Amino acid sequence: MRVRVHTATNGISQIHTYGGGLENQVNHWENLGFETITEFSHGHHARAGGGSDTFNFVDIDNVRDTIVGRLEDFDPSRDEIRIEGVLLDLNNLPANVRVVAFNGAHNDPGTAPQPWLLIETPAGGHIFYALEGARIDMNGNGGSNGHQHEQHFLTLPHMPDFDTLPDIDFVDPVNVVPEGVTADGGLVINDVDTDEDEVLAVITGSAAGDAIGAGLNDDTVHGQQGNDVIWGGSGSDAVFGGEGADSLHGGSGDDLLVGGNQADNGRSDAGADLLTGGAGSDEIRGGGGHDTLEGGDGHDRLVGDWGADYLAGDAGNDTLISNSGVDTVLGGAGDDWISSGNGADIIDGGRGDDYAIGRSGTDIIDGGAGNDSLFGSAGADTISGGSGNDYVSAGSAWDVVFGDSGHDTLEGNFGSDALSGEGGNDSLLGGTGDDTLSGGAGNDTLLGNQGRDILDGGAGDDLLRGGTLADEFHFDLGGGTDTIQDFENFQDELHIATGLVDGMTDGRDIVDTYASVVDGDTVFDFADGTTLILEGQTDVAALYDNVFAV
């Protein structure tokens, strides 16, 4: 084993350490050391070459500022990372170490982020190393850098805020079958070719359960029959599980993973991947990049990751979970459970009785057909129940909610929300904030609750309560027989369409012409048959200053 030392100090703009070429299979130990670092430093990277290599970060307590670098050829299927000689488990990190997502391609927000290792030192500094050889534009303008500006440099103005970077599961592009993994009656196949020019390798398994590591190339892998375990590895691979309950791993690159007719398990890593479960109850997970996950038939579980993902459950009662990024999630047929992530997501439950929650971000949620339960959260969401008798809870921001057809229950909760029942006999509860509640067609119940609310029952015989503070009640032609249960004189207002009052504009004239006291209530009878009842109101004259023609 060869041991090499890579030591960074103040005033050195870059250090490149090479342990060997791509063909070199000697095992290397790279000591990545630091003298006292009291100022921003960048451009450090290490390449160990072939073999099973160790990248060992030492003297990290000397780092008092930020140092940026990358591990050029880190391969987790054979290499390891240590800190002060202690092996680092990237799936079970100590408190001072994180794996985070950061976009390193010219700071271009349209490209996928990469995984980075972030080590917080005892002196309060940060060691920030890319785990995929990610490159970063020093100038931040997306253009080419000169020979003196290698692309992996970061300048201080373009440094990320470490506290805001999302923590991610470590992406593991396995190139060979890991030690200890055995085949299920079939073959163990490893493509150990290290010549990246020899692409389009085709690997075909046996009729039994195979364990296949596709290697570095852009591979096409057919598992055939049996319960296969396949790692696509590096490169843009096409992996077909075939018959049997298969476990498919894409690895880095833009991969295609296709399950089969039984319960498959698919996992992509870096790259923009397409994963299709096919028949059977499958579990499919995206990784880094903008992935497409299709469940197919069966009761599937689809989990996105960071990146703008597309998740489609198709038939069956599916579980769909997106993550960070602007995602599109389609439940399809069946009773689906959907959870979006932290981005501005689009969710469509499709047919069936679905449960969907928007989480943070400005989401668009449509329950589709069926009796759905839909929940917003943080972020200003737009939520539509779709057909069926739906329950919608808007969340904490300024949300827009539509019941659509069916007898729906809509709750605004926090924020100044707009709730529209549309068709059916709906129940609308505004919650806190200054809400706008529109019943639409049907016999609706509108409760403004706290805040200065606007309530419009629409067509049908509606029941309205404004709640606390000064509320507005709106009425138009064809409104049916509406009842206000808590109208407060000198506080609440009636806004009546001029078409109901033959063009009158003065509140006194409207009250004297259309209002009278009947059995302890004030009743407005309009010519088109619309009736408005103010429960418990006996002082008609007190309404003069509270009635407005609009």
Per-residue pLDDT of 167-195, as tens digits, reads: 876 655 566 676 667 778 877 877 766 55
Token reading at 466: 């404004």
* pLDDT beyond 70 at 523: yes
Note the pLDDT of residue 464.
Answer: 98
DSSP character for 509? H
pLDDT category of residue 543 using cuts at 50, 70 and 90: very high
* Secondary structure tally for the chain: helices H, strands E: 1, 49
**Does the pLDDT of residue 223 top 50, yes or no?**
yes
Residue 221 Cα distances to 67, 68, 205, 237, 395, angstroms: 41, 37, 8, 8, 46
- 137 vs 176: CA distance, rounded Å: 32
* pLDDT for res 48: 64
Strands (E), 214-317: 220-222, 229-231, 238-240, 247-249, 256-258, 265-267, 274-276, 283-285, 292-294, 301-303, 310-312
Which among 424, 512, 85 has a CA at the least distance from the CA of 410? 424
Beta strands in 340-480 (DSSP E): 346-348, 355-357, 364-366, 373-375, 382-384, 391-393, 400-402, 409-411, 418-420, 427-429, 436-438, 445-447, 454-456, 463-465, 472-475
In order, the DSSP letters of 363-382 are -EEE--SS--EEE--SS--E
| DSSP code string of 231-259 | E--SS--EEE--SS--EEE--SSS-EEE-
- Contacts (Cβ under 8 Å, ≥6 apart) of 416: 398, 433, 434, 435, 451
Tokens of 452: 């200065």
> How sure is the predictor about 3, in pLDDT bands with cuts at 50, 70 and 90?
very low
Summarize pLDDT for 529-542 with one digit per residue, the tens: 999 999 999 999 99
Judged against a pLDDT cut of 90, whether residue 33 lies above it is answered with no
- Region 433-460: what's the mean pLDDT? 96
Distance CA 212, CA 221 (A): 8
Residues 317/298, Cβ–Cβ less than 8 Å: no
Triad 374, 376, 382: Cα angle to 5°:
90
pLDDT at 150 over 50: no
pLDDT of residue 49: 61
CA angle 20, 127, 136 (to 5 degrees): 70
**pLDDT of the residue at 156:** 47
pTM recorded for the entire structure: 0.71
Asked whether the CA dihedral 267, 273, 279, 284 is positive or negative, the reply is positive
